Structure 1
Amino acid sequence: MNSKKIMQKSIGFYFNFLSFAHPKKLKKEGFLLFCNPFARKVKPHQLEFLQKGMADSFTLEGYKIQTYKWGNGSKKVLLVHGWASHSFRWKNYIEHLVKNDFTVYALDAPAHGLSSGKSIHVVLYAKVINAFLEKNSEISSIVSHSIGGFATTYFLDHYKEHTIKKVVVMGAPGEASDFFDFYKQTLGLTTKSVDLIIDEFQAQLGKSPNYYSSAKFAESITIPALIVHDKDDLATSFKYSIRLSKHWKNSQLLLTEGLGHDLKSKELLKKVTDFVTN
């Protein structure tokens, strides 16, 4: 057993102990772990690139949200990154889109990149997206990845006053309940431990995990979407995107192979650009 698995099982043992000895503490610590991305720090070469854009920030619910802008093209797009990532993941997209008459905006989610905080969840991320779009109403399209895609779908379902005309969702998870199944298996949590953490989840977000389903959210969305997933994605199953596309009335499904969860290739970059352009 490697050190990572030993750490995971140790956390699980600790949480299972708390479920009997101190259930209130388990609720708090378990929920915080569930929402903690343990995000990577921005490296010097990444920061050097990001600083070439116009950096700005705004505050939402006590979080400082880092934002960026590149170019002055006639078309406006917002890039929404995924779990444990930040705006640099879009470097190739930024450079390509700027050359194709786009003004490109990006933001770091709470607890990611240069934004503040230690936790993130879909509801908070959607609030951040909405707040940014309220300040930048000229943006007409969103390109999103991973949990950023989940949050974008939630945003489009719950916030109707926006100017978004097209959206790209890449490699996105689809069910919050599956995250709990993953943590239960990975950490070796008992059913009692998981139920206590779910109680806190519902207390904090107002709904049970089963409510947070991208396919359900998509049923109310009518704007055109390109849904992309790789069949070799080891982080999120492409079955989520197949289901999402069936519930999203005006969507196209693109399944790739060999790109994994990162979904980085020149061919895909061109297809995404063509979709948000035409």
Structure 2
Amino acid sequence: MTGRRAVRGAAHGILTALAPGAAARWATDVFSDTRALGLRPDNVLPLGAQRFAVDGSPDVTGGYVWGEPGDGSPTALLVHGWASDSSSMHSFVGPLRGLGFTVAAFDAPAHGVWPGSQATMTQYSRAVAAVLESLGGARVVVAHSLGAVAAVSGLALRGEEPEALVLVAPTHTLSGVLDRWDGAGMRIGPGTRERVYAELHRRNGVPVSHWDAVARGASLRCPVLAVHDPADTWVPYADAEAIVRALPGARLETVRGVGHIGILSDPGVQALIIGFVAERAAATP
């Protein structure tokens, strides 16, 4: 345990004994941290992109687009994972552009270029819906990690169904993430964990169990491709298996030795995804 984690753990233990409600709120703040990886990029336009405005979200007012929106070409939307930003998805821009897609990406609330270090899944899913609305929809959505839950939730909010949905190392439920969480040095006992669940319910306006990729995507009938590495130490492979078992028209491609982050830049993974998208594009008039 690092010195910082040790100090945090000791302080949280004292606070839990004296003021368990405050200790639970602190733990919820740490769990909801969007800067855990220390990412605060400069607001620089990515190579080859232009900006587009997002209406309807107080947290996300714009994003990046490669191509010409409104020129008649189909749109593909990239949705990054928690504590990351849109740059993590840039490896898919070139291949999707090669298929003739306009490609869009954005930083989630309190991620990337946006201020703050705390966000909720409610904010993220509403931002996805607002981005989709501003783009006029998307024929393809590619989402990574916990962004998979945000993506299907945003689609559900709009009642929109893409022609192809790609989930890369997808998270099944937020409950699973919280249950696996090590507390970042804090000693999260059963009582504190229950209070964190309650605090997340208060902040999101819905219980933690609401954030379930299968439940939120239950109405989807589009083809779904999940790609996951069984050795992923961040999100269990079983999450992808559960999603694919439950969503109609879903299939799972297993890749090995790429990990949770490396999966986004692996050429073999890109080939699988581009092949799937091209197959769906060819099947759609």
> Taking structure 2 as the reference length, what is the TM-score of the superposition?
0.85
Note if 1:229 corresponds to 2:195.
no
Contact 1:175 1:212 in 2 (8 A): yes
Distance 1:17 1:237, change over 3 A: same
Contact 2:140 2:277 in 1 (8 A): yes
**Who is 1:92 aligned against?**
91
**How far off its partner does 1:219 sit?**
3.1
Distance 1:215 1:9, change over 3 A: farther
Distance 1:100 1:220, change over 3 A: closer
Residue among 156, 159, 171 paired with 2:157: 159
Q: Deviations over 1:51-103 (max 9, x none)?
A: 53112344655424440000247221000011222121222211222222110
**How far off its partner does 1:10 sit?**
2.8
**Who is 1:209 aligned against?**
208
- Alpha-carbon distance in 2 for matches of 1:15, 1:223: 46
Distance 1:256 1:216, change over 3 A: same
| SS in structure 2 of the partner of residue 55 of structure 1 | strand
**Who is 1:126 aligned against?**
125
- Alpha-carbon distance in 1 for matches of 2:63, 2:130: 12
| SS in structure 1 of the partner of residue 206 of structure 2 | coil
**How far off its partner does 1:147 sit?**
1.1
Distance 1:231 1:43, change over 3 A: farther
Distance 1:161 1:218, change over 3 A: closer
- 1:177-188 residue pairs with structure 2 within 5 A? 177-184=175-182, 186=184, 187-188=186-187
Structure 1 residue ranges without an equivalent (≥5): none
Structure 1 range deviating more: 100-109 or 186-195 = 186-195
Structure 2 residue ranges without an equivalent (≥5): 280-285
**Who is 1:7 aligned against?**
4
- Alpha-carbon distance in 2 for matches of 1:9, 1:52: 45
| SS in structure 1 of the partner of residue 34 of structure 2 | coil
Distance 1:210 1:64, change over 3 A: closer
- Alpha-carbon distance in 2 for matches of 1:117, 1:259: 31
**Who is 2:102 aligned against?**
103
Contact 1:134 1:162 in 2 (8 A): no
Aligned residues: 271
Contact 1:13 1:189 in 2 (8 A): no
One-letter amino acid of the counterpart of residue 136, structure 1: L
**Who is 2:63 aligned against?**
67
- Alpha-carbon distance in 1 for matches of 2:34, 2:210: 21
**Who is 1:34 aligned against?**
31
Q: Deviations over 1:3-55 (max 9, x none)?
A: 2xx323432332332233233433432222211121512269xx46x153112
**Who is 1:78 aligned against?**
77
> Taking structure 1 as the reference length, what is the TM-score of the superposition?
0.87
Contact 1:174 1:241 in 2 (8 A): yes
RMSD: 2.3
Contact 1:16 1:190 in 2 (8 A): no
Residue among 159, 164, 172 paired with 2:170: 172
Structure 1 range deviating more: 94-103 or 158-167 = 158-167
Structure 1 range deviating more: 253-262 or 266-275 = 266-275
Contact 1:36 1:119 in 2 (8 A): yes
**Who is 2:283 aligned against?**
none
Q: Percent identity?
A: 22
- Alpha-carbon distance in 1 for matches of 2:165, 2:204: 25
